[in-house]
C-alpha cells in the first residue's frame, strides 16, 4: 500500500505565487467591500429624500434605483466574506496541501491526508469528552473539522484532525450574546495496546467546567493531586482501578492544557481544547518568505502529536 494524498503539492515558488495572488485579492476586496457595505446608509437616504420619487414608484427605472442600496449591501457583504472568510481559508488550504503531506510522512506510514476533512462527528458524540451529557445532542451544536489524516505510527493506527464544536443558537445559553465555542483543538484516536476492560473518561478540571455538578468523579484514586486536577468517569468504576495504576496516573499527569481523554478496549481518544487549530497559517509575506521556518513549526506540532502517543503507549501495558 502506497502513501496517498488528496491533492498534488505545489513547489515552493508555485506556493508563494498562489498565496501572493490570494493576498492581493484579499487586500482589494476588503476596502471595496466596506465602502459598499457602509454606503447603504447614504444611498438609502438619497433614494428616500430625492423629491423625484414622490410618494409612488412609477417606472421600472424608479424601482431599480430604489433597490440600489440593497444591491450595494449584497455586493459589499459578498466581498467582505471573500476577504475575511474564503481567502484566508483558501490560503491555509493551499499551504497545508502543499507542505503537510510530506512532513507527516516523516512520522507516519500509509498516510492519507485531507486538509478539509475531520474525524466522524458520530465518534466525537459517542466518546462524549466535550461535556457530560453530550452538547452535540443537547444543543445540536455545529461541527467543523480540518487537517484530517490517517496513518500508522510505530505500527499503531492513528486518526487525527482538528475539530471545532460551537453553538449557533446562543439563546440556548443563559446570558450568551454570541456563538459559544464548546471545543476547538486537536483530536486524535489511536490503538493503545493496553488492557482496558471498561470505558473510562478523564477530563482536566478547568474554568470551562466551573459548575461543580459537571466535574463529579465516580472514581477516586489514592493520588490526591490527580483527583484534584482531573475528573474521572468510568462505565464500570470497579474495573477502572485496573487502569488507574500509579504508572498510568504518572503518564496522565504529564499532560497539560485542558486535556480530555477516553480509553476503551483497543483504542484511546485524546483531545486538547486549545481554542485554536493546529498548523495555522496567515499567508503574510514574512511567513511565506521562509517556508523552511514554517516547515520547522509544523514539524514541532507533529512532534507533539507523536509525543502524546508515546506517553500513553509507554510500555504497551498499564
Over the chain (318 residues), the average pLDDT of each successive run of 10 is 57 87 88 81 62 50 64 82 84 90 93 91 82 45 88 94 80 49 89 87 71 68 88 88 87 83 91 89 82 92 93 66
How far apart, in whole angstroms, are the C-alpha atoms of residue 45 and residue 102? Answer: 57
Task: Please check whether residues 127 and 235 belong to one and the same domain.
Answer: yes
Q: Which of 108, 205, 123 is nearest to 163 (CA)?
A: 123
Structural domain boundaries, residue 256: 114-318
Task: Please check whether residues 14 and 100 belong to one and the same domain.
Answer: yes
- Chain-centroid distance of CA 47 in Å reads 45
How far apart, in whole angstroms, are the C-alpha atoms of residue 271 and residue 265? Answer: 18
pLDDT, position 245: 87
pLDDT, position 49: 55
How far apart, in whole angstroms, are the C-alpha atoms of residue 12 and residue 19? Answer: 11
pLDDT, position 105: 94
pLDDT, position 205: 79
Task: Please check whether residues 310 and 228 belong to one and the same domain.
Answer: yes
The helix (H) or strand (E) run that includes residue 166 is strand 156-167
Task: Please check whether residues 142 and 216 belong to one and the same domain.
Answer: yes
- How many domains does one find in the chain? 2
Neighbours of 84 (CB within 10 A): 14
Q: Read off the C-alpha cell for 119.
A: 474525524
Task: Please check whether residues 260 and 118 belong to one and the same domain.
Answer: yes
Task: Please check whether residues 318 and 175 belong to one and the same domain.
Answer: yes
Task: Please check whether residues 121 and 210 belong to one and the same domain.
Answer: yes
The helix (H) or strand (E) run that includes residue 142 is strand 142-153
pLDDT, position 161: 95
How far apart, in whole angstroms, are the C-alpha atoms of residue 93 and residue 100? Answer: 10
Q: Read off the C-alpha cell for 53.
A: 420619487
Chosen domain end from 81, 105, 129 = 105
How far apart, in whole angstroms, are the C-alpha atoms of residue 105 and residue 220? Answer: 41
pLDDT, position 64: 60
Amino acid at each position: 500500500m502506497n502513501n496517498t494524498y488528496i491533492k498534488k503539492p505545489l513547489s515552493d515558488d508555485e506556493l508563494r505565487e498562489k498565496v501572493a495572488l490570494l493576498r492581493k485579492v484579499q487586500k482589494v476586496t476588503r476596502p471595496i467591500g466596506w465602502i459598499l457595505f457602509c454606503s447603504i446608509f447614504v444611498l438609502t437616504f438619497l433614494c428616500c429624500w430625492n423629491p423625484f420619487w414622490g410618494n409612488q414608484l412609477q417606472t421600472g427605472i424608479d424601482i431599480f434605483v430604489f433597490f440600489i442600496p440593497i444591491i450595494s449591501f449584497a455586493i459589499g457583504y459578498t466581498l467582505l466574506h471573500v476577504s475575511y472568510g474564503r481567502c484566508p481559508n483558501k490560503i491555509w488550504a493551499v499551504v497545508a496541501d502543499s507542505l503537510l503531506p510530506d512532513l507527516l510522512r516523516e512520522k507516519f506510514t500509509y498516510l492519507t491526508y485531507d486538509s478539509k476533512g475531520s474525524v466522524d462527528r458520530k465518534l466525537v458524540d459517542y466518546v462524549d469528552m466535550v461535556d457530560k451529557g453530550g452538547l452535540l445532542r443537547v444543543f445540536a451544536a455545529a461541527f467543523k473539522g480540518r487537517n484530517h489524516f490517517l496513518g500508522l505510527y510505530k505500527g499503531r493506527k492513528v486518526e487525527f484532525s482538528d475539530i471545532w464544536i460551537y453553538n449557533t443558537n446562543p439563546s440556548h445559553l443563559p446570558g450568551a450574546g454570541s456563538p459559544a465555542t464548546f471545543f476547538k483543538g486537536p483530536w486524535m484516536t489511536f490503538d493503545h495496546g493496553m488492557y482496558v476492560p471498561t470505558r473510562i473518561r478523564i477530563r482536566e478540571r478547568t474554568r470551562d467546567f466551573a459548575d461543580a455538578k459537571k466535574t463529579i468523579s465516580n472514581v477516586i484514586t489514592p493520588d490526591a493531586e490527580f483527583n484534584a486536577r482531573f475528573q474521572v468517569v468510568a462505565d464500570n468504576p470497579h474495573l477502572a482501578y485496573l487502569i488507574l495504576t500509579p504508572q498510568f496516573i504518572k503518564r496522565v499527569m504529564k499532560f497539560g492544557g485542558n486535556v480530555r481523554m477516553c480509553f476503551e478496549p483497543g483504542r484511546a481518544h485524546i483531545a486538547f481544547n486549545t481554542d485554536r487549530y493546529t498548523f495555522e497559517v496567515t499567508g503574510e509575506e514574512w511567513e511565506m518568505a521562509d517556508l523552511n521556518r514554517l516547515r520547522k513549526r509544523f514539524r514541532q506540532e507533529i512532534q507533539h502529536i507523536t509525543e502524546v502517543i508515546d506517553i500513553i503507549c509507554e510500555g504497551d501495558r498499564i
